[in-house]
Amino acid sequence: MISPLAYIHPEARIGANCEIGPFCFIDRNVVIGDGNKLMNNVTVLYGARIGKGNTIFPGAVIGAVPQDLKFAGEETTAEIGDENTIRENVTVNRGTAAKNKTMVGSRNLLMEGVHIAHDCIIGSSCIIGNGTKLAGEVVVDDMAILSANVLVHQFCRIGSHCMVGGGTRTAQDILPYSLIARDPASFCGLNTVGLRRRGFERDTIDSIHKAYQTILQGTGLLKDLLERVENEQPDSPEIAYILDFIRTSKRGFIR
């Protein structure tokens, strides 16, 4: 299952039932779990940690040093969860002293040419489209969908169950459950189709819709609008998540 044309450092730890194709390079201080498939020409560098059952396509580079001039060679990692599909030429950089690690969760699809920069935190069950680039310390919550060629500024947060249109550029947070598109990027409503496909009840979708009507179309201070939502909408995990997301936003959010 391991090609004789692959290079594996003697100190690398490789799990059971892994398939490693020709011309792969696996550095020292690398841990690869069971059942992974690395096609030809995959590069796994110092500090990479890869879970179980991932499929990594040709040209991907996991664990390259950060493209951050403040990086001083500190011990950091690039951590990949389980059952991800990582397509051709994806790059996932190691962390810096800021967070010490870059993390990609489980069951994600990272399409061709995606770049995950230092200290990013990617949740699980996300889809990140061809050519999308995430700058340093971006956070992507579970089940977000980013279409092709999306550019995300450093320190932004992308909410769960959102859908971001192709070619979108954002320097602000993207609200959960939202549909974001146009140039400049703007809020285009709820990701209703996605929410229905994922089993959200009509009452839950209506509650999210009403909350965003109050927040985005209401008049007055934002903190007062959030309190209105808190008082007028029934308690639910979705409403609590929206309120916490906005209250903890550091870059503001797309409206």
Residue 252 dihedral angles phi and psi, to the nearest 5°: 75, 175
* 8-state DSSP, 220: S
pLDDT digits (tens, 9 = 90+) for 202-224: 999 999 999 999 999 999 999 99
The domains found in the chain, sorted by start residue, are: 7-140 (2.160.10.10), 195-247 (1.20.1180.10)
Say if residues 117 and 99 touch (Cβ distance below 8 Å): no
- CA 91/CA 115 separation, integer angstroms: 5
Query: How is residue 20 written in tokens?
Result: 């490693």
pLDDT at 32: 98
pLDDT at 133: 98
pLDDT at 16: 98
- Name the pLDDT band for 145 (thresholds 50, 70, 90): very high
Say if residues 207 and 234 touch (Cβ distance below 8 Å): yes
pLDDT at 67: 97
Query: How is residue 175 written in tokens?
Result: 């609200």
Nearest to 76 by CA among 117, 21, 43, 35: 117
Give the residue numbers annotated as catalytic, written as ranges: 118-119, 136
pLDDT digits (tens, 9 = 90+) for 65-85: 999 999 999 999 999 999 999
pLDDT at 6: 98
DSSP 3-state of 246: helix
Burial class (CB in 10 A: 0-12, 13-18, 19+), 203: exposed
pLDDT at 128: 98
pTM of this structure: 0.96
Token match 């962390």: residue? 95
